[in-house]
């Protein structure tokens, strides 16, 4: 059996010193937790957590025609994106399947594209081919020269305000500012992680440790902490947000995950548009559901979802929710056999069953607010 040669964040030594336990994520080894996933989750949903996102792919696209190039590759209307603003979009294949969910930042001179580490090579190939077809376009891989951090939670804005040396923390979704944090000059962008306010911080690799230490210390002052992948997954699943590598792949369309409002048909042609327009609902026989388990027993990806002992789907990801006092799961089911508040059964590989109900994540959040 071949040994996987994982890539590592520049922050791994500092994270190991802080008690981090690591897990494979694609071809990267990332911090799974710092010893107490439930406490890290609690920090995310009540105060603030700081996460290392250096595993994400980062590309810079320069040239006179780059906006039109990206306009054809993504589902968002980029003509509406102002300078120093970031938006999210799907990158589709010709069949309408999702290659990746990407973040697109527009500066006055270039575009930055962030993608999942699980789809980096695929996204890079698509961007490289498009760059060759565009006039005077240059694609640069900035994954190893830059790094990214995430500060998320109800007090994220306060942590950021405490941490900057000059300027103003952006407050509007997608707005960005260049700010000094520690020794690093950083691009700070206001976004949302699941249902939580958050800030994406990009800086040069040489300054990552300084920025990480400063933001981590400031988060601790507000009873926050560094957080690993497990706590992020708990918050993501609780918010009902699909992820590349779990709910999203190239066989999945925006329709199946309930995300057609993020497809701007009116902007004109883009890759995958024809396939989506010419399809019918009958072609998409599955849909993503959000499941509340009637216990803390967490199912596994691949477990069967049943109704009246008949298999109708499968679990894609699951996690405990200490705040909701139950386990939660996302999965795909037969579109014609389920409705809101339907009671289903999840059967695991040991033939044990769990009761689950189809519900709305926004209603769950309201119930706990």
Which of residues 104, 124, 141 is at a domain's end?
Answer: 141
211 within domain boundaries: yes
Same structural domain for residues 86 and 36? no
Burial 36-52 (b: 16+ CB within 10 A, else e): ebebbbbbbbebbbbbb
Q: pLDDT 10s per residue in the chain (369 long)?
A: 556 789 999 999 999 999 999 999 999 999 999 999 999 999 999 999 999 999 999 999 999 889 999 999 999 999 999 999 999 999 999 999 999 999 999 999 999 999 999 999 999 999 999 999 887 889 999 998 999 999 999 999 999 999 998 889 999 999 999 999 988 999 999 999 988 999 999 999 899 999 999 999 999 999 999 999 999 999 999 999 999 999 999 999 999 999 999 999 999 999 999 999 987 655 678 999 999 999 999 999 999 999 988 999 999 999 999 999 999 999 999 987 766 668 899 998 889 999 999 988 875 554 444
**Which tokens hold the place of 84?**
């120093």
Same structural domain for residues 52 and 151? yes
The whole domain housing 223 covers: 7-56+144-238
Query: Strand ranges (DSSP E) for 41-145?
Result: 49-52, 57-62, 85-92, 98-106, 110-115, 138-141
What's the domain count of the chain? 3
Same structural domain for residues 311 and 328? yes
H or E, element range at 328:
strand 326-334
- Token pair 């890759």 is found at 271
Strands 28-33 and 7-8: parallel
Angle between helices 229-239 and 361-368 (to 10 degrees): 100
The CATH number for 107's domain is 3.30.70.1400
- What is the value of pTM for the model shown? 0.93
């Amino acid at each position: 059996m071949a040994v996987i040669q994982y890539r590592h964040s520049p922050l791994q030594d500092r994270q190991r010193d802080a008690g981090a336990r690591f897990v494979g994520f694609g071809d990267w080894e990332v911090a799974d937790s710092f010893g107490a996933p439930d406490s890290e989750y609690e920090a995310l949903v009540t105060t603030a957590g700081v996460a290392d996102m250096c595993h994400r792919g980062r590309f810079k696209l320069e040239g006179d025609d780059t906006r039109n190039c990206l306009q054809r590759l993504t589902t968002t209307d980029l003509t509406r994106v102002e300078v120093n603003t970031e938006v999210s979009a799907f990158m589709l294949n010709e069949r309408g399947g999702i290659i990746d969910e990407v973040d697109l930042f527009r500066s006055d001179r270039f575009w930055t594209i962030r993608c999942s580490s699980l789809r980096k090579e695929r996204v890079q190939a698509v961007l490289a081919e498009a760059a060759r077809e565009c006039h005077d376009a240059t694609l640069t891989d900035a994954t190893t020269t830059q790094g990214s951090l995430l500060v998320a939670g109800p007090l994220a804005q306060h942590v950021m305000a405490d941490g900057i040396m000059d300027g103003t923390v952006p407050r509007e979704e997608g707005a960005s500012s260049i700010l000094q944090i520690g020794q690093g000059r950083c691009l700070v962008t206001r976004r949302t992680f699941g249902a939580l306010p958050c800030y994406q911080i990009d800086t040069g690799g040489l300054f990552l440790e300084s920025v990480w230490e400063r933001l981590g210390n400031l988060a601790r002052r507000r009873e926050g902490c560094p957080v690993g992948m497990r706590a992020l997954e708990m918050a993501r699943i609780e918010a009902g947000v699909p992820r590349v590598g779990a709910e999203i792949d190239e066989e999945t369309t925006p329709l199946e995950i309930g995300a057609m409002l993020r497809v701007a048909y009116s902007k004109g042609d883009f890759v995958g548009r024809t396939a989506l327009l010419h399809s019918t609902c009958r072609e998409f026989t599955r849909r993503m559901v959000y499941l509340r388990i009637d216990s803390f027993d967490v199912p596994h990806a691949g477990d069967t979802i049943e109704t009246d002992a008949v298999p109708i789907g499968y679990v894609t990801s699951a996690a405990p929710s200490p705040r909701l006092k139950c386990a939660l799961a996302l999965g795909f089911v037969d579109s014609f056999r389920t409705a809101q508040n339907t009671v289903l059964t999840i059967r695991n590989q040991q033939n044990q069953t769990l009761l689950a109900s189809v519900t709305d994540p926004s209603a769950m959040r309201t119930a706990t607010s």
